[in-house]
Homo-oligomer: A and B are copies of this chain.
Amino acid sequence: MDPNTSPITSTDVRVRYAETDQMGVAHHSVYLVWCELGRTQHMRERGVTYRELEESGVRLPVVDAHLRFRAAARYDDVLSISSWVRECASRRVQFGNAIHRGETLLATALITLIAINESQAPITIPPDVRARLVPAPDPVRV
């Protein structure tokens, strides 16, 4: 990993028509999908692809998700998903996410994952993966 890599990854996503609901905004469940895009992109930029991780027998299910919604996202909006590691312990990692449209903060999320093997038993996060999941200070209040 380039030591100059920013500790915060930015991933752009355009709101899909199918993601809106009849309130005329993106449905709140979609934010969990966007956070997933953000954190897998964060890992990819640090040399860890979730696809390869899973092929090696390691799975990272979400055990806790806390979302705060401040303003709505609308169809065709281009959003920026910021992703960073808040904490990384031997068996557990917490990501932070902030979703902006331009300068407007739409939502924040704290997503906690644990490592399990293919038999669903908890395992330690592989050391080479953990070494790449370096915590960073929150860039916004979450």
CB distance from A141 to the nearest CB of B (A): 14
In the complex, what residue of chain B is closest to A69 when comparing beta carbons?
A: B63
Is A62 part of the contact surface with B, judged by Cβ < 8 Å?
A: yes
Q: Known interface pairs A22-B22, A120-B72. Does A62 touch B17 (Cβ–Cβ under 8 Å)?
A: no
Number of copies: 4
Complex interface: chain B residues within 8 A of A66 (CB) = 64-67
Beta-carbon contact of B32 and A49 below 8 Å: no
CA distance A50 to B17 in the complex (A): 9
CA distance A64 to B50 in the complex (A): 28
Most B C-beta atoms less than 10 A away, residue of A23, A66, A70, A75: A23
In the complex, what residue of chain B is closest to A111 when comparing beta carbons?
A: B28
Complex interface: chain B residues within 8 A of A29 (CB) = 18, 29-30, 32-33, 36
Please name 8 further chain A to chain B contacts, defined as beta carbons within 8 Å, in addition to the given A17-B21, A22-B25, A32-B32, sorted by A numbering. A17-B40, A18-B27, A18-B29, A21-B21, A28-B62, A63-B70, A64-B69, A66-B67
Report, nearest first, the 6 A-B pairs whose CB atoms are least far apart: A29-B32, A20-B22, A51-B76, A28-B62, A66-B66, A18-B33
